[in-house]
Amino acid sequence: MNGAAALVIAAALFSYALVLHVVTWRLRAPPKYLYWFLKYWLLLPLAVVCAILAVEGLRGELSASQLLAWLGGFLTYLALCASFILIYPAISMSSLSLEILHHLRRHGPQREDALSLADQSGMAMLEVRRDNLMHSGMFRADGDRLVLTAKGRLVASMIDGVRWALAIPRGSGG
């Protein structure tokens, strides 16, 4: 395999993806960011790569080695994009653990009773996530309770299945 060519393709595509992300977010962060990533990080580069390969193929200039380099490069690009998208929630939403560590770094040692969290913080965290799940059609309200929709049940069952595969006991974590 031409590892160098595959790495150059992956690096070029990933650089494009990051620059586009920074420029777009600085102008206005998209409210449905997952759709944005799907459209501009997956579908658009995929269309461009397919077009390049089609043109090269029609001109008879596409060798098996080149095809392999493009596929290999695109696979690495997808893995890098997936890694970034999985980190993105940590970028856009604060982690309390990290906030505590940054607070200690900024202000030095603290007495245990000197640290406190605004009263509404815990509920605010829950409400943001509940709203996300309601808007994405996973939950429906039933009085004061939230009940899974068919889509939510499917997603929950998949997560439950993954936990079983990883031998994580029911009820642990979270």
Q: Which of residues 143-162 bind another protein (CB under 8 A)?
A: 144-148, 152-153, 155-157, 159-160, 162
Q: Which is nearer to another protein, 50 or 87 (CB)?
A: 87
* Cβ atoms < 10 Å from Cβ of 17: 20
Structure tokens at 10: 């992956």
Q: Which is nearer to another protein, 39 or 131 (CB)?
A: 131
Closest Cα to residue 9, out of 58, 63, 56, 52? 52
Segment interacting with another protein, rule: CB under 8 A, options 3-11, 40-48, 50-58:
3-11
Q: Which of residues 23-82 bind another protein (CB under 8 A)?
A: 25-26, 29, 64-65, 68, 71-72, 75-76, 79-80, 82
* Cβ atoms < 10 Å from Cβ of 81: 20
> Which of 32, 107, 135, 137 is in the footprint of another protein by CB under 8 A?
107
- Does 121 contact another protein by CB under 8 A? yes
Q: Are 24 and 30 in contact (CB under 8 A)?
A: yes
Rg (CA), the chain: 22
- Does 112 contact another protein by CB under 8 A? yes
Reading phi first (left if > 0) and then psi (alpha if -120 to 50, else beta), residue 32 is in beta
Segment interacting with another protein, rule: CB under 8 A, options 35-43, 44-52, 53-61, 124-132:
124-132
Q: Are 131 and 119 in contact (CB under 8 A)?
A: no
> Which of 32, 132, 135, 137 is in the footprint of another protein by CB under 8 A?
132
Number of chain residues interacting with another protein (CB under 8 A): 91
3-state class (DSSP) for residue 31: coil
